[in-house]
Structures are given as C-alpha cells and as structure tokens.
C-alpha cells in the first residue's frame, strides 16, 4: 500500500512539472523582445503628446516657449510680437492720458474751477490766499440769488492778457433800482439787510454823495464786503449776466476755515 501511494505521488509531481514546462514555453513563445528606454524629442514628442492628450493647449505652448523648448518659428514669432505689444501699451497709455486731460479741461471749463482770493475787498468774509471752488453749472436752471457770492469777468486784463476775474457779493438783480444814501443800500426803496457785515460798516457812494442806478434785464450789481476798500459796481458799473462765471461753492483752504463762506 505504501509503495502504491508513493508512486501515485510521484506521478502527480511529474504531471505538475510538465504543466509548468508548458507554461514556461508558452511565455517564451508569446514574449516580445524588450527595447531599451528611449527619449522622444522635437516633433516626434509633440506628435506623441497630441495623440495621447489631444491638441496642445495655449498654456502648454506658453510654458514651452518660456522654457526655451519651442520651435525656432514659434520663438521667432514671439520675438516679433513683443515690440508690437509694447507699442500698443504705449499707445493705450497716451490715449488714456489724452482722454483724462480733455475731461479735466471740460470739467474746469463748464462745471467747476478753483479760484484763489487776491486782495482785501471781501474781508472779513474772504481773505487773501483763501482757496475756493466755484461751480459754474447750476445757474442754468437756478437763477442767481441776492447776497450770494459770485465770480465775474471784468474789462480788466492780467499781465498775460487774460480777463480779470473778481469775487464779489451779488447785491442787485435784473430790474432793481439800487440806491446808496447815507451809508446804506436800498433796493427798490427798501433798505437792504446785510447780516454778513459788521454794524459799523458803511457803504459809501464813489463820490461820497447819493448814488442811484437801475439795472437792465440782464444786469447785476456787485459789491465787496469791505465796502471802504472794494473796487466794484459802484465804480465800473453793472455786470452783464454773460460775464458772471459762477457761484462760490466752498472754501477748501485753509482747513481751519473750511466750509461755505
């Protein structure tokens, strides 16, 4: 019995060996020779990448160019594009600057401008070197009011030939009869209340006598708050509406006197 069992075991071992031998031969029969590792370069590498992942993205192209891996044609086209890009940037900057300058000129011409007080004619309301913003648009839909501060052009000229712009208080409106008598101002026969003046301030006529004028349909009468030292409509006469520049909007300097005067 033992001998038969041993023979049987040997028979199974031989069978297993044959099977293993067959499998080994099969592997050798189906195996392909292995090539050594290769590095693809240039167009061959690009073609392989495109086949594997599709068309090359712009980011990949830019990255390759930045690393110096692009083709000679791509590098050349990039170098040619750089001057064009710089020129376009310069032109865009110049265009933006020109637009800003034009807008600033239009703004100061039609909307708002800065004025500096010169002289003593508006003391104590305004003093020399006060910096003001004058708005020039609201009078189109809102008529000028009596006693508000305005700027106006006069017949005088500066050293460089520009019209002299004055800052005064608007006293008389179109159609008013202005009378100055005994140091007081009368509008159409009624004494004008002027709380912005000190009680001791007197308004004298140019010749220290009575003064009277009736304004036309587009004329305004202007006077400075420093009545004893102000060259105004008492001397050069009424101002036409077209010569009024705008309303004094705000005093922005000095900062400790900031606000509407």
Regarding beta strands 131-135 and 190-191, do their DSSP bridges make them parallel or antiparallel, or are they unpaired?
unpaired
Sequence-separated (6 or more) residues with CB below 8 Å from residue 32 = none
pLDDT in tens, 3-25: 444 444 444 445 554 444 444 44
State the catalytic residues: 121, 168
Q: Six-digit token pair at 144? A: 């000028």
Look at residues 205, 175, 198 and name the one whose alpha carbon lies nearest to residue 188: 175
Instruction: Match 């100055």 to its residue by tokens.
Output: 180
State the Cα–Cα distance between residues 19 and 133, nearest whole angstrom: 106
Q: What is the CA radius of gyration of the chain?
A: 48
Q: Six-digit token pair at 18? A: 């044959």
Q: What is the pLDDT of residue 87?
A: 84
pLDDT averaged per 10 residues in sequence order, the chain, 261 residues:
43 48 46 47 60 54 56 53 74 90 82 92 95 92 94 81 88 96 94 94 86 95 95 94 94 94 91
Instruction: Match 């520009």 to its residue by tokens.
Output: 162
Cβ 134 vs Cβ 116: under 8 Å: no
State the Cα–Cα distance between residues 51 and 44, nearest whole angstrom: 11
- HEC readout, 103-151: HHHHHHHHCEEEEECCCCCCCCCCCCCCEEEEECCHHHCCCCCCCCEEE
Distances (CA, A) of 241 to 33, 151, 174, 221: 104, 11, 9, 10
Q: Six-digit token pair at 212? A: 């009277």
Look at residues 132, 123, 201 and name the one whose alpha carbon lies nearest to residue 165: 132
Q: What is the pLDDT of residue 109?
A: 76
State the Cα–Cα distance between residues 7 and 123, nearest whole angstrom: 136
Look at residues 186, 189, 187, 144 and name the one whose alpha carbon lies nearest to residue 168: 144
């Amino acid at each position: 019995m033992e001998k038969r069992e041993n023979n049987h075991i040997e028979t199974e071992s031989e069978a297993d060996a044959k099977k293993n031998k067959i499998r080994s031969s099969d592997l050798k029969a189906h195996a392909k020779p292995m090539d050594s590792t290769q590095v693809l370069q240039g167009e061959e590498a690009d073609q392989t990448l495109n086949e594997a992942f599709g068309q090359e993205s712009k980011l990949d192209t830019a990255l390759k160019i930045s690393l110096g891996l692009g083709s000679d044609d791509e590098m050349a086209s990039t170098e040619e594009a750089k001057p064009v890009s710089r020129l376009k940037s310069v032109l865009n900057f110049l265009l933006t600057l020109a637009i800003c300058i034009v807008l600033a000129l239009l703004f100061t011409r039609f909307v708002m401008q800065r004025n500096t007080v010169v002289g003593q004619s508006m003391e104590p309301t305004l003093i020399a070197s006060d910096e003001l913003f004058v708005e020039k648009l609201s009078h189109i839909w809102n008529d000028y009011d009596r006693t508000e501060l305005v700027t106006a052009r006069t017949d005088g000229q500066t050293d460089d030939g520009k019209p002299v712009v004055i800052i005064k208080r608007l006293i008389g409106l179109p159609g008013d009869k202005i009378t100055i008598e005994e140091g007081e101002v009368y509008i159409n026969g009624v004494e004008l209340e002027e709380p912005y003046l000190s009680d001791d301030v007197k308004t004298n006529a140019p010749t220290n006598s009575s003064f009277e004028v009736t304004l036309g349909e587009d004329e305004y009468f202007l006077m400075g708050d420093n009545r004893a030292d102000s060259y105004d409509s008492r001397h050069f006469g009424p101002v036409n509406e077209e010569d009024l520049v705008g309303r004094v909007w705000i005093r922005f300097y000095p900062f400790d006197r900031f606000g509407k005067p």
